Amino acid sequence: MILNKVLANPSDVLNKVLNSLDIQESLLLTYLNQHCFNIYSSNDDYKKLLDTKFDIYQADLGVFLALKILLNKKINRIDATAMNKLILDELIRGKIPLVIVGGNFDYKFIQDETRKRGINLVAYNTGYFEETQTDGIIMELSKKKTSVFIVGMGVPKQEFFAEKLLRMPDPKVVICVGNFLEFYFGTKKRASLFIQKIGMEWMFRLITEPGRLWNRYLIGIPLFIFRILKLKFEGKIT
């Protein structure tokens, strides 16, 4: 069960990335939030991928509380956006070349923004493409002189894409970031820090994007709670 292997300390997540780079070892890294857990519970291919190929960290209030309830131990709450920025800051500090796949940014915009932030960008590809284009995109990106790929395409598409990237020659560190890129580059606004801290950012997002997110939250949150309570009463998590 995925909840038994979830990383719950930001330093552990960062060290996974830095150690993999130091020893030139492949790494697939992604996050687990309430929405991801619901997909994990209903999508066998995604479930198998996370169980066998990925390192995963808890990334929202829902999973944080679920782990505290199920494991009954002290853990740290991780904010996925803050975690991804921490990782990216370290990559910038080390001047490590990287590829970004995700969002739907104008190429000049992404060049200007990455240059302004000191990111050593060697290639960018939009995250909006047809499934039939995947193999060609991966083939082209694998030729770039880097081992680091930031992939933000939504769950579970980004994880399937990341795993295919890892099949190409040479070790790769592939970090799945969801919609972090939009927040980081300022094309999408986050809730205020106060709203984030009290765990109500989902409400802010629901209000700003109701057509896209109503199912994820209005149906997804009660479903997530039901699944966690079921695990608790069945005693399947230790």
Of 106, 114, 89, 88, the C-alpha closest to 175 is 88
Q: Residue-wise pLDDT tens for the chain (238 aa)?
A: 788 889 989 999 999 999 999 999 999 999 999 999 999 999 999 999 999 999 999 998 889 988 888 887 778 889 999 999 999 999 999 999 999 999 999 999 999 999 999 999 999 999 999 889 999 999 999 888 888 999 999 899 999 999 999 998 888 999 999 999 999 999 888 888 888 877 788 888 888 888 888 898 899 999 999 999 988 888 766 5
Q: Are 14 and 20 in contact (CB under 8 A)?
A: no
- Model pTM score: 0.93
Say which residue the tokens 């209030």 belong to.
Answer: 61
φ/ψ (deg, to 5) at 129: -150, 160
**Dihedral sign computed on CA atoms, order 7, 5, 77, 114:** positive
Domain boundaries, the chain: 2-234
Q: Does domain 2-234 match CATH 1.10.274.10?
A: no
